[in-house]
Chains A and B, each alone.
Chain A
Amino acid sequence: MAQGRIVAGVLAPHPPHLVYAENPPQNEPRSEGGWEELRWGYERLRRSLAGKAADVLVVHSPHWRTTCGHHVLDLARFQGLSVDPVFPNLFRFHYDVAVDVPLAEAIAEEGDRAGLVMGRMRNPDFRVDYGTLTSCHMVRPGWDLPVVAISTNRAFYYFSDDVGQREMVALGEATRRAVERTGRRAVLLASNSLSHRHFTEEPPVPEDMSHEHVFHHGQYLWDMRMLDHMRSGRTRQLIDEMPDFIEQTVSECKEGCLTWLMAALGFPDYPAEVHAYGTVIGTGNAVVEWDPEGARAAHDG
Chain B
Amino acid sequence: MAEGAVLAGCLCPGMPQLLLCPEANPGWGALRAACGRLRDEIRASGADLLVLYSTQWPSVIGHQVQADPAPEWVHVDQEFHELGSMPYRLRMDADWARACVEAAHERGLHARTVAYRGFPVDTGTIVALSLLDPEGRIPASVLSCNIYADRAETLVLGKAARDAVRRTGRRAVAVAVSCLSARLHTRPVPPAQDRIASLKDDEWNRKLLELLAQGRLEDVSQLAREYGTQAHADQKLKAIWWLAAVLGQNNRYRGMVHDYRPVWGTGCAVVGLVPTDRPAAGHEFDEEDVERYSGDRQVLDAGAGLGPAAPPERQPRGDGAVVAADAPRPVGAYPHARRVGDLLYLSGMGPRQAGTDAIPGGPVRDTQGRPLAYDVEAQTRAAIANVRTILEASGSSLERVLDVTVFLIDMDRDFAAFNRVYGEHFGAIGPARTTVAVTALPTPIAVELKVIAAA
- A272 on interface, CB distance cutoff 8 Å: no
Q: A68 vs B266: C-alpha distance in the bound complex, in angstroms?
A: 13
Which of A30, A81, A215 contacts B326 (CB under 8 A)? Answer: A30
Q: Closest Cβ of chain A: how far from B231's Cβ, in Å?
A: 13
**In the complex, what residue of chain A is closest to B57 when comparing beta carbons?**
A85
Q: A52 vs B222: C-alpha distance in the bound complex, in angstroms?
A: 59
Q: A66 vs B76: C-alpha distance in the bound complex, in angstroms?
A: 13
Interface size class on chain B is 35 or more
- B405 on interface, CB distance cutoff 8 Å: no
Q: Closest Cβ of chain B: how far from A231's Cβ, in Å?
A: 26
What are 17 A-B residue pairs whose CB atoms fall within 8 Å in the complex? A28-B326, A30-B353, A66-B79, A68-B184, A83-B116, A83-B118, A85-B57, A85-B59, A88-B116, A92-B116, A117-B187, A158-B186, A198-B60, A201-B61, A201-B62, A204-B315, A211-B301
Residues 160-203 of B, flagged 1 when their CB comes within 8 A of A and 0 if not, give: 00000000000000000000000111111000000000000000
Which B residues are in CB contact (< 8 Å) with A125? 74-76, 85
Inter-subunit contact B188/A123 (CB<8 Å):
no
Which of B61, B117, B310 contacts A204 (CB under 8 A)? Answer: B310
Which A residues are in CB contact (< 8 Å) with B186? 67-69, 117, 154-155, 158
Inter-subunit contact A204/B300 (CB<8 Å):
no
- A297 on interface, CB distance cutoff 8 Å: no
Q: A125 vs B73: C-alpha distance in the bound complex, in angstroms?
A: 10
Q: A206 vs B297: C-alpha distance in the bound complex, in angstroms?
A: 16
**In the complex, what residue of chain B is closest to A66 when comparing beta carbons?**
B79
- B37 on interface, CB distance cutoff 8 Å: no
Q: Closest Cβ of chain B: how far from A152's Cβ, in Å?
A: 10
Inter-subunit contact A30/B303 (CB<8 Å):
no
Inter-subunit contact A204/B323 (CB<8 Å):
yes
Q: A59 vs B79: C-alpha distance in the bound complex, in angstroms?
A: 18
List which B399-443 residues lie within 8 A (CB) of chain A: none
Interface size class on chain A is 35 or more
Inter-subunit contact A210/B306 (CB<8 Å):
yes
- A3 on interface, CB distance cutoff 8 Å: no
- A248 on interface, CB distance cutoff 8 Å: no
Which B residues are in CB contact (< 8 Å) with A160? none
Q: Closest Cβ of chain B: how far from A30's Cβ, in Å?
A: 4
- A24 on interface, CB distance cutoff 8 Å: no
Q: A81 vs B118: C-alpha distance in the bound complex, in angstroms?
A: 7
B residues near A (Cβ < 8 Å) are: 57-62, 74-76, 78-79, 81-82, 84-85, 110, 114, 116-120, 122, 146, 148, 183-188, 297-301, 303, 306-307, 309-310, 314-316, 323, 325-326, 329, 353-356, 393
Which B residues are in CB contact (< 8 Å) with A88? 114, 116, 119
Known: A64-B78, A210-B307. A85 touches B122 (CB 8 A): yes
Q: A203 vs B78: C-alpha distance in the bound complex, in angstroms?
A: 31
Inter-subunit contact B119/A85 (CB<8 Å):
yes
- A240 on interface, CB distance cutoff 8 Å: no
Which of B110, B306, B315, B356 contacts A30 (CB under 8 A)? Answer: B356
Inter-subunit contact B78/A151 (CB<8 Å):
yes
Which B residues are in CB contact (< 8 Å) with A86? 58-61
Which of A29, A151, A198, A200 is the most central at the interface, judged by chain B CB atoms within 10 Å of its CB?
A200
Which A residues are in CB contact (< 8 Å) with B187? 68-69, 117
Residues 212-241 of A, flagged 1 when their CB comes within 8 A of B and 0 if not, give: 010100000000000000000000000000
Which of B82, B118, B303 is the most central at the interface, judged by chain A CB atoms within 10 Å of its CB?
B118
- A1 on interface, CB distance cutoff 8 Å: no
Which A residues are in CB contact (< 8 Å) with B323? 204-205
Inter-subunit contact A30/B309 (CB<8 Å):
no
- A90 on interface, CB distance cutoff 8 Å: yes
Inter-subunit contact A199/B116 (CB<8 Å):
no
Residues 67-95 of A, flagged 1 when their CB comes within 8 A of B and 0 if not, give: 11101000000000101011111101000
Which A residues are in CB contact (< 8 Å) with B300? 199, 201-203, 211
Question: What are the nearest 6 A-B pairs in CB distance?
Answer: A30-B355, A30-B354, A126-B76, A81-B118, A67-B184, A125-B85
